[in-house]
Amino acid sequence: MAGYRAEIAGIAGTTEAATFTNTILALEDAGRGFGRAGALFGVFTSTMNDRAMQQIEEELAPVLSAFGDEITQNAALFQRVKAVYDARATAGLDPDQRRLVDVVYTGFARRGAALGVAAKARMTEINARLATLYTRFSQNVLADEESQALIYERADDLAGLPDSVRDAAKADAEAKGYAYAWRFGNTRSSMEPLLTYATRRDVREAAWRMFTTRGEHPGACDNAPVITEILALRGERATLLGYASHAHWILDDNMARTPEAAMALMMKVWPAAVARAREEVADMQLLAGDVAIAPWDYRFYAEQVRKARYDLDQNAVKPYLQLDQMREAMFWVAGELYGLQFARVTDVPVIHPDVTVYEVTRGGALVGLWYFDPYARDGKLSGAWMSEYRTQERWKDPNAPVAPIVSNNSNFLPGRPGEPVLISWDDAVTLFHEFGHALHGLDSNVRYGSLAGTNVKRDFVEFPSQLNERWLPTKEILSRFARHHQTGEPIPDALVAKIDEAKHAGEGFRTVEYLAAAIYDMRAHTALTDAPIDPGELEASTLREIGCPPEIVMRHRPTHFSHIFSGDGYSAGYYSYLWADTLTADAAEAFVEAGSFYDRATADRLHAVITSVGNSVPPEEAFRAFRGRDVDTNALMRDRGFPVG
């Protein structure tokens, strides 16, 4: 921090007239040591967050927030940035240089650089308090995930569960010191198999209640009051910045531009999703008989309907989906589309023995490094995500570009030593999704790191990752890499056909549980009230007013909705998955029109105008360059099997 502060003082204090080089490029070059330390700190807090690290995180969160505000609110520095911004049209800058000026100036202005002294001081207080609250929210969720588990000592309790799920639970119990038991931790990768396959209804209900109430229990780890304070502070900050609400502030710098535009897209899809969900419930009710379908029954009976209607048993698919083979499948696709090769290296430091590292090359030239951290452990955030340890850039020395370093992180349960880890189809989709983010970082080829890789608009960043999911079900992948873990036989064509036939099965559920959460997010962040917001009451009123089927709850209920309450990243932005999926559905049709998802010309165009350009080109222009026109929103409805019109 001291070194970064000195660099900022030098930029702000120079008597030379402000130029792109001595101001914008100087800022681009400043704080490199601070950035490296921050990246490593982020690795620890997301993957090795033991109690000692949590204490450090609690201490540093407000300090780091205040330091960021110190830079943003430096009046002399902002005046120099503004001077370059005001002269950008006549300064002879290249398009990517003008784009960098726009991004830097907008970043300062949106964070209050032009506010008065008193407002800046209050902004610093708000941001510091929010940083503390975000840390507390995350740690409360982590505490519930680590301290809560379902432990069974009778095999009868596991009725219906596949052997692979039982084996993973057995290994987890043994690792935790249980001699003869099965342990299911409070994470999605453990809970969803119980909810899908357990024939014991009481087991399903126990799993559902434990998983959906993370962060909701009165006491030290209760996130309800944390959310109330977060929402109040975000509202106050938006007012200081001149916006009607936090959502208006967030969306003003995204593709959607306004909360109304985001809500319009969501509400276009919502009625069709609800109608499909009700059809799904009706089909399930026929199998359930007198048992009224409850939220903990949905996945179980949906799987029964899938078996009956499509003759597709997910347990019949799982033996063909080995984690190691799916990783190799992702590598193969990256080679086919972008010419990338991946080779394991062992001379690179890792944070945990589970982590493996791969050198990424193209035509023999170094592209970057890819870290893979696949397994669950204490101190690691749940879910799956991509991180960037170092960002691509090439402006300082075009002959020696800085190679990106990215990671993918998951929470699979390791099997017994020597046994393959088998994953579900949904888990395989998630792997390809997160690897799409990694490819976005690795494929980047721009001059300036601030515009590189995934440093794009929030509602555009999910586009390359969601598009990358589309290669998993292709015959080229399944025939090569979906092989039975015991026999080595490729997945039968008949089974692949069933997977394709059933691709819209459960679409109502998936869309409703996602949209319910996204609509809640937007409602929470457009609430124009000074009264404290009770997150539970807002959840109930939102679901009631939009007519959410009672058999479905939000994919992320408020007290563990880390996307929107553990930081600003996806706040008022959870809609972005749907926004990006609109782009994805349309882009996927480009490959269909070309006759293959491996069409060389289409893949080259995707690389040239989407995955390699980062934020050096406005996202609307990038998409038009790929598709030749603006996005067709009806592509989303077609893709999900919903009526168009």
Catalytic site residues? 434
Hey, what are 504's tokens? 């819209």
DSSP single-letter state for residue 567: S
Select from 219, 330, 269, 328 the least CA-distant residue to 546. 269
Longest dimension (CA), the chain: 81
* Triad 451, 452, 453: Cα angle to 5°: 135
Q: 493-514: b or e for each residue (b if 16 or more CB lie within 10 Å)?
A: eebbebbeebeebbbbbbbbbb
CB atoms within 10 A of CB 348: 13
User: In sequence order, what are the residues at sequence separation of 6 or more whose Cβ sits closer than 8 angstroms to the Cβ of residue 305?
Assistant: 280, 283, 284, 287, 505
CB atoms within 10 A of CB 625: 14
Q: Across the strands, what pairs with 341? A: 361
8 A C-beta contact, residue 413 and residue 445: no
User: In sequence order, what are the residues at sequence separation of 6 or more whose Cβ sits closer than 8 angstroms to the Cβ of residue 640?
Assistant: 269, 272, 273, 504, 507, 511, 585
Residue 385's φ and ψ, nearest 5 degrees, are: -160, 170
CB atoms within 10 A of CB 52: 11
Residue 489's φ and ψ, nearest 5 degrees, are: -70, 140
CB atoms within 10 A of CB 468: 26
DSSP single-letter state for residue 21: I
How far is the C-alpha of 488 from the C-alpha of 189, rounded, in Å? 25
8 A C-beta contact, residue 523 and residue 249: no
DSSP single-letter state for residue 25: I
**Radius of gyration from C-alpha coordinates of the chain:** 25
Tally of residues, the chain: 645
Select from 294, 314, 298, 290 the least CA-distant residue to 195. 298
Hey, what are 431's tokens? 């792997």
Q: Across the strands, what pairs with 304? A: none
Helix and strand counts by DSSP (H, E) for the chain: 27, 7
CA 238 to chain centre: 24
How far is the C-alpha of 537 from the C-alpha of 231, rounded, in Å? 14
Instruction: Characterise 227 by phi-psi region: left (phi > 0), alpha (psi -120 to 50), beta (else).
Output: alpha
